Amino acid sequence: MKNLSVAVLVLAALFVFPVTGPALAALQVDVTQGNAQPLPIAIPDFVASDPGQAAMGAQIAGVVRADLDRSGLFKSIDPRAFVERITNINVAPTFASWRAINAQGLAAGQVEVLSTGQIRVSFRLWDVFGESQMDGRILTTQPNDWRRIAHQISDFIYERVTGEKGYFDTRIVFISESGPALKRVKRLAVMDEDGANPIFLTRGEYMVLTPRFNPTAQMIAYMSYIDTKPRVYLFDLETGKQEMLGNFPNMTFSPRFSPDGNKVAITLENGGNSDIYVMDLRSHQMTRLTSDPAIDTAPSFSPDGRQIAFESDRGGSKQVYLMNADGSGQHRVSFGAGENGTPVWSPRGDLIAFTKQHGSHFTVGVMRFDGSGERMLTNAYHDEGPTWAPNGRVLMFNREAQNGRGSQIWSVDVTGRNERRVMTPGDASDPAWSPLLK
């Protein structure tokens, strides 16, 4: 699995008409409001320079529409309502005809095939009421990477309109589940953020759990029961090789990379007791961070790498704790109702997502890193194991049905709105979101 590459150029604005005054700042979305009022945007099928590319032009626009709709911040307008037909993206559109269908944004694009066999996709984002170009890009890649171009265009539009980085050109590593409830087969798998291109990385002859991406999205740390010995492994997506992380006589589990990718925090069990360690991937040196006789597990680094949140029952109930990256200054931060675990630091650094347990009821929520401002985002029977989109605005998690009726991946906005099921091939659990791909 090679690192795919897409070349991006900025497409110069068209200076063909005067900029009008008052409506200039019209096209923007406040991401902190969730999907309270999604922005209507028109995205016609991309124009094809030759008829053979018409299908790809339609597919790319379709993926962009689906991406933006899924965010809950945009509402793509049904193309059947369009009045004007875009035939050349280098000519300014007739804005009145887009205002007539209440489009506030218009993203028009075209697809060309180059003599090298690559495809070149250009698009312009227009502020329909401000009658101005907001963004314009040219993206070039191999034809079979057309979905990545579509996701990158979605990211450009999302960023230009919300002021925040997007998260569509990303991947999800997860556990694919199949078989009866008492004999589940669990396989390591990756897919695009929208569920496309699922790839199975293990065959299911041994159980795998809790996969996590490294910061370049090229390496996955996960736990595997190869030879019925539960240990943390590293899977290199570039080479397809997997290797055990260290060589320990006992169970290692709950891996998570440091933000610089040079270390992995893990839990090591010894004589029944579980403590948190950090392994330096270059020197393979292990540093012990906790030594409490209680259970310490599920470590997660802060984005600056200076602190680690973790789950412990040292105070008599399972709660979220914090420590410095060297293990000093361990203290409890969750004091809300019930028990709280699996803390995961937001890439923005402002919030910690976690799993709250009330008896048999599990929900996913967020709190500030000092434990204040606790807010639950979901309310089902069993939601567990949150993971953040790289922009810190959306989370995915694992939703298990009652009575062993299976597990699915869902997403929810950090505002608690826009809860959606994520498309997976069959049942799935333990999602982990990659950073934006390079």
Partner 1 sequence: MNRISSSVKFTVLAAALLMSACTTKPQATNTAPPPASPPPMAAAPQTSSIIPGSEQDFKVNVGDTVHFALNQFNIEDADRGTLQKQAAWLAKYPAVRLTLEGDCDERGTREFNLALGARRANAIKEFLVAQGVATGRLETVSYGKERPVCTESNEGCWAQNRRGVSTVTGGATS
**Contacting residues toward partner 1, per CB under 8 A:** 181-182, 184, 186, 207, 209-210, 223, 228-230, 250-251, 253-254, 267, 269, 271-274, 295, 297-298, 311, 313, 318, 341-342, 355, 357, 359-360, 381-382, 384-385, 400, 402-405, 430
Minimal distance, residue 23 CB to partner 1, in Å: 50
Q: Between β-strands 339-345 and 351-358, what pairing exists: parallel, antiparallel or unpaired?
A: antiparallel
Nearer to partner 1, 6 or 352 (CB): 352
21 vs 316 by CB, closer to partner 1: 316
Question: Residue 338 CB, nearest distance to partner 1 (Å)?
Answer: 11
Give the position of tokens 């602190």: 307
| Amino acid (one-letter) located at 154 | S
- Local structure of 138: helix, strand or coil: strand
Query: For the residues of 50-106, what is the DSSP string, one character each?
Result: SGGGHHHHHHHHHHHHHHHHHHSSEEEPPGGG-SSPP--TTS---HHHHHTTT-SEE
Length of the chain: 438
Q: How far is Cα 232 from Cα 433, in angstroms, rounded to an integer? A: 19
Specify the residue, 127 or 430, whose C-beta has the smaller distance to partner 1.
430
Q: What is the DSSP string of 365-434?
A: EEEETTS-S-EE---SSEEEEEEE-TTSSEEEEEEEPGGG--EEEEEEETTS---EEPP-SSEEEEEEE-
Q: How far is the CB of 298 from partner 1 (least distance, A)?
A: 4
Q: How far is the CB of 272 from partner 1 (least distance, A)?
A: 3
The dihedral of CA 327, 319, 296, 202: what is its sign?
Answer: negative
CB of 312 to partner 1, least distance (A): 9
Considering beta carbons, is residue 250 or 418 the nearer one to partner 1?
250
Q: Do 96 and 111 contact (CB within 8 A), yes or no? A: no
In the complex with partner 1, the residue whose CB is nearer, 133 or 297, is 297
- Smallest distance, Å, CB 215 to partner 1? 21
- Tell me the closest approach of the beta carbon of residue 352 to partner 1, in angstroms: 14
Give whichever of 258 and 407 is closer to partner 1, judged by the CB atom: 407
Considering the complex, what minimum distance in angstroms separates the CB of residue 395 from partner 1? 15
Contact 274, 248 (CB under 8 A): no
Nearest to 73 by CA among 114, 111, 29: 29
Q: Does the CA dihedral 242-410-391-170 come out positive or negative?
A: positive
Nearer to partner 1, 67 or 400 (CB): 400
Q: How many Cα neighbours within 13 Å face the side chain of 323?
A: 22
Q: Are strands 375-376 and 427-433 parallel, antiparallel or unpaired?
A: unpaired
Q: DSSP per residue over 324-335, as a string? A: ETTS-S-EE---
Q: How far is the CB of 4 from partner 1 (least distance, A)?
A: 31
